[in-house]
Amino acid sequence: MGEKLICNNKKAYHDYFIEDKFEAGMVLQGTEVKSLRAGKANLNDSFMMVKNGEAYLHNLNISQYEFGNRQNHQPDRHRKLLLHRKEIDRLYGRIREQGYSVVPLRLYFKDGLVKVEIGLAKGKKNYDKREDLKKKDTQREISQTLKSRNRD
């Protein structure tokens, strides 16, 4: 079947160095899945925390389903992530270190199931962000000059 992207977290790549990536399932309600199929989700400012040995995703906003009834879901509730015990323990150990956090990178459907790709991230300083922007600008300029040369 393949993958169908729901949303990306571009801000995560700007604000963090991503050191490791994991794929996790999520425990969702029915109306949440319907909203995700409509593409109504926002990953910005969301993060993972471990509580009582279980991983939860905080600040993930899935808009309420338009055609839902009184049993519609809460848009910003904490959602449980489905990870292996070893992965949770490893992530929890790294989160406790200074400067590390776990952020969601993208949300997608894989074989009909909702998956979230989370990344072990270390925060960037402002000068790191400026350096990345400079690299991106120079790459863009180089590719534009190469395109213009190829046309001539």
Q: What is the pLDDT of residues 77-106, one digit of tens each?
A: 899 999 999 999 999 999 888 778 999 999
Pick from 78, 80, 75, 4: which is nearest to 40 by CA? Answer: 75
Domain spans of the chain, in order of start: 3-124
**Using the 8-state DSSP alphabet, how is residue 97 labeled?**
S
Pick from 44, 19, 14: which is nearest to 124 by CA? Answer: 14
Cα–Cα distance between 81 and 121 in angstroms, integer?
Answer: 17
Cα 133 from chain centre: 21
Strand partners, 54: 51
Question: pLDDT tens digit string along 19-28?
Answer: 999 999 999 8
The pTM assigned to this predicted structure is 0.78
Mean pLDDT of the chain: 87
Q: How much is the pLDDT for 64?
A: 82
> What tokens appear for 44 in the block?
């910005």
The 3-state DSSP composition of the chain as helix, strand, coil percent (nearest 5) reads 35, 40, 30
The fold adopted by the segment(s) 3-124 is Small Protein B; Chain: A; (2.40.280)
